Amino acid sequence: MIRVLHGEDEYSRSEALTKIRESAGPEEVRDPNTTVFQGQGFKLSDVIGAAQVVPFMADRRVVIVYGVLGRMQKRDKSLGNEWRDLTDKLAEVPASTELVFVEEVGLRDNGIAIKSVGPSARIQEYRTKRRGELETWVRDRFAHYGADASRDAIARIAWLAGSDTRLLDQEVKKLALYAGDRAVTQDDVDLMVPDARETSIFAAVDAVLERRPAVAMKLLYSLLSGGSSVSTVLSMLARQVRLLILTIELQQQGVHPEEIGKRISLTNRYALDKTLRQSNNFGTEHLANIHRRLLAADLAIKQGEMDERLAVEILVGELSAA
């Protein structure tokens, strides 16, 4: 069978690939019956040749090819002309071989890459999950680990951990073990799960203030692709900058760190420690200027003076490059 696993959801994609590899048989015969092609130093003839090898003491053979279809979609000239014959060559793959093409990006349904594998290929897309899809996925993972969770707990963990399903799986497993026989509650989630979005905001603020525009933009896109809206990103950035200003002022007054956390309503230990460390690196005047710029951008968006996505990209780019 010819398969295509594509999309940005790395964990779900790798899970599917693991199941395919396990189809080659017991662990002791799996490796001899699996061939992996990565990088750019292989040819189509190498792939077809590996696919035609008879399985060794097993019913199936697995051949995995990384990155080729994505390069075809981009019309990468370095791929070589022989890959134009992919459709015809796939007819030479025996039924005893699982030939799997793996792509880290999504492929267009009507693009040249998908068309090249033929209509009989099984296409499996693993795109980044949105809020509702994440909650369904989290509920299913709790069931997978023989656990139950309240609706509020499921919504909370989906919000805190974001769209990273590998991270979500780790947190669900941890919560399932922690709760034992009872259902996981929202209080359990707040106690056990760090806020991945808050962590990204800390990193984004660092990148902006430390004048690292490439990193700042990458983190911005990560937040947006993870389901955060532009207004949410702006408000989270503004909140963190405001907390830093308050923290610096309280530190100058000699207030104890624990008391600072109470006064600025930051009860999460990780968030407080990170804010305290971050506050040692920046001045209040610079932070206040950034805060004004964030509020001005938010106002411009709400008044329809600028497209929201463009506004936040320009703002983060300018602040981090200033």
pLDDT category of residue 13 using cuts at 50, 70 and 90: very high
pLDDT category of residue 227 using cuts at 50, 70 and 90: low
Mean pLDDT of 277-285: 83
Cα 31 to Cα 26, 116, 173, 232: the distances in Å are 10, 28, 28, 47
Task: Write out the DSSP string of 46-68.
Answer: HHHHHHTSPPSSSS-EEEEEESH
Tens digit of pLDDT for each residue in 301-322? Answer: 888 888 888 888 888 888 888 6
Please check the confidence at residue 197 and state whether its pLDDT lies above 90: no
Q: What is the model's pLDDT at position 203?
A: 76
Which helix (H) or strand (E) segment holds residue 100: the answer is strand 97-103
Range with lowest mean pLDDT among 96-105, 153-162, 190-199 = 190-199
Can you tell me the distance from the alpha carbon of 116 to that of 112, in angstroms, rounded to the nearest whole number? 6
Q: What is the model's pLDDT at position 226?
A: 64
Q: What is the model's pLDDT at position 277?
A: 83
The closest alpha carbon to 70, from 108, 41, 43, belongs to: 108
Tens digit of pLDDT for each residue in 230-259? Answer: 887 888 788 888 899 999 999 999 999 888
Mean pLDDT of 167-181: 91
Q: What is the model's pLDDT at position 4?
A: 96
Per-chain mean pLDDT for the chain: 86
Tens digit of pLDDT for each residue in 116-167? Answer: 998 889 999 998 887 678 889 999 999 999 999 999 889 888 877 667 788 8
Burial of 148 (C-beta count, 10 Å sphere; 0-12/13-18/19+): middle
User: Six-digit token pair at 158?
Assistant: 């989906």
pLDDT category of residue 269 using cuts at 50, 70 and 90: low
Strand partners, 257: none
List, in order of start, the domains of the chain with CATH numbers: 2-125 (3.40.50.300), 131-192 (1.10.8.60), 196-321 (1.20.272.10)
Cα 182 to Cα 147, 151, 153, 177, 188: the distances in Å are 8, 14, 13, 10, 11
Cα 203 to Cα 199, 208, 226: the distances in Å are 6, 9, 15
pLDDT category of residue 25 using cuts at 50, 70 and 90: confident
User: Six-digit token pair at 4?
Assistant: 């295509």
Q: Is the pTM of this model over 0.75?
A: no
Range with lowest mean pLDDT among 180-184, 267-271, 286-290 = 267-271
pLDDT category of residue 204 using cuts at 50, 70 and 90: confident
